[in-house]
Amino acid sequence: MRGLPLLAAFVACLAFGAGAASLPYDETADAKADLARTLSAAQASHEPVLVVFGANWCEDCRALDKALKAGRSAELIAREFKVVKVDVGNFDRNLDIAKAYGNPIKKGIPAAVVLSPDNRILYATRAGELADARHMSEDGIYRLLKRAAGNAQAAH
């Protein structure tokens, strides 16, 4: 019977680990280094960078992440952008990065900024356009991303 609590703890850790693996934001990531690497890759490929600000606790952030990984939105993202995700925690992480791009998280998360490969802002959600992502249709998210891609192409 002594092994039963240990087994239960082990199973709980496995379950937590499996759940954590599916979370969209790496809370231990060095967001500045990730952004610098992505911008460098974007310069080589001449693609814009989609920076997505959010947090794992945020249902809308998880809904947007799901939309970015499936269907037309995923195809558009793969074709048009290099992507980097920036974890803002409880609005206590990486705020300097958000501020550098006009503070798109001011009206809620998730928020997004499209950057040129040379780090100029081409598009940003400044009015909380994605902050209700869980209630947006797949088509609504796609249209917003399509508009961001169009702005990036026009500026390129």
Q: Report pTM.
A: 0.85
What is the per-residue pLDDT across 72-123, written as a single tens digit (0 to 9) for each?
Answer: 999 999 999 999 999 999 999 999 999 999 999 999 999 999 999 999 999 9
Rounded to an integer, what is the distance from CA 87 to the centroid of its chain? 8
Alpha-carbon distances, residue 139 vs 71, 76, 126, 135, 143 (angstroms): 10, 12, 20, 11, 6
- Give the residue extent of every domain in the chain: 24-155
Confidence of residue 9 (pLDDT cuts 50, 70, 90): very low
Helix (H, G, I), strand (E, B) or coil at 50: strand
Residue 22: per-residue pLDDT: 82
Residue 151: per-residue pLDDT: 82
Confidence of residue 17 (pLDDT cuts 50, 70, 90): very low
**Which top CATH class is 24-155?**
alpha beta
Q: Which of 35-39, 65-69, 94-98 has the lowest mean pLDDT?
A: 65-69
Residue 154: per-residue pLDDT: 81
Residue listed under structure tokens 């959600």: 125
- State the average pLDDT over residues 130-147: 92
Residue of 86, 87, 78, 127 lying closest to 107 (CA atoms)? 127
Residue 34: per-residue pLDDT: 98
Residue 153: per-residue pLDDT: 81
